[in-house]
Amino acid sequence: MCGITGIVSFNDQQIDQIALIRMRDSLSHRGPDDSGVYANDKRTVAFGHRRLSIIDLSERGHQPMSGENGNLWIVFNGEIYNFLELRKELKSLGHSFSSSSDTEVIINAYSEWGEQCFEKLSGMFAFSIYDKQKNLLFLVRDHAGIKPLYYSITKDRLVFSSEVRALKSFESSWDEFDDWRIYFLTFGHIPEPYTTLKDVFMLPKGSFMRLDTTSGKFSVSEFTELKYSEKISDESEAIQLVRDTFTKAVERHLISDAPIGVFLSGGIDSSLIALLAHKFQGDNLRTLSVVFNEKEYSEDYYQNIVRDRLSSRHKSYLVTENDFLDNLDDIFESILSQWTSHLLTGSILISLRSARRKRV
């Protein structure tokens, strides 16, 4: 998980680098390993990045990253599962690489195929590419919408980020979206594309924004659409297809230059993932579980059933009531972002803080 931010000014007013860095560093929890910024010569386009190093742990994987001729720049959050295949194809077409990162594969893919490259990517991703030569900027979000990407665009500027909190840190007085409470109480969440902030939207999944960085004109288009055209009536065929697809998906998720771990909750999903991951990782696999003193909530019984079948490096973490109360502020900051100042969650927060004081 990484954090990306960016600002584009349409009126030739230079971007405030302090505001950009403030946005970037509000996402430090997403990327503790490295950070970077980029601004074009006029300082009308700027990127910020916080990095969690997964593929190519060296400085060559630093972001924002430029392309082969310096005319393309990218900030990227996510993972491209088929980057090795694309890298091989791009090398055969004459492209060179200075890193082993999937980030560089994206930028070379754009150099070769333009915006048609987005549909070639298999993975979970949110990224922005700035094409200096064409005065174009793209925001792109994966087909399943796994990675978040928020933006706000006015006649003067575009601001985007991996989290709403970064836009709030860009402008602390940002107005609320009037109806967010209604949506939250109706659906139990705020449905896309809306957020708690006025005129801040989630980029639709499987879509990209194409922005002229000079005029501010933009469009949002789909680059992919999930289609279901086959009907399977044979049970054994269906089971085999699910098994093969699931196994391949787990294998692709294990591509990493950093140690790989699996959260083993004791549920069906995590148990299957851990067992399949062990098939590829063997003794190198790391698994972790969370357990509780309250036996009616703890799932260590089911975790141990799976753990006993693995030769992984396993750790169990005991989470107590004190851990929850001691980290309450961070929990609300992470989950609720700016909501903690509002009535709906404010009353909950006051009650829990009261409980913490009584404990002390």
Q: Which residues are catalytic?
A: 2
Residues in a beta bridge with 152: 159
Please compute Rg for the chain using Cα positions: 22
**CA 256/CA 80 separation, integer angstroms:** 11
Report the amino acid identity of residue 216.
G
CB 152 within 8 A of CB 201: yes
DSSP for 301-346 reads HHHHHHHTT--SEEEEEE--HHHHHHTHHHHHHHHHGGGGGSHHHH
Torsion angle of alpha carbons 340, 342, 347, 353, nearest 10°?
30
Surface-to-core class of residue 128, CB atoms within 10 Å of its CB (0-12 exposed, 13-18 middle, 19+ buried): buried
CB 289 within 8 A of CB 317: yes
Residues 273-310, buried b or exposed e (16+ Cβ, 10 A)?
A: bbebbbeebeeebebbbbbeeeeeebbbebbbebbeeb
Query: Which residues are within 8 A (CB) of 279 and not within 5 positions of it... i.e. 6 or more apart?
Result: 247
- Closest to 221 measured CA to CA, from 114, 135, 133, 147: 114
Element (H, E) at 260: none
CB 220 within 8 A of CB 207: yes
- 210: three-class secondary structure by DSSP: strand
Surface-to-core class of residue 316, CB atoms within 10 Å of its CB (0-12 exposed, 13-18 middle, 19+ buried): middle
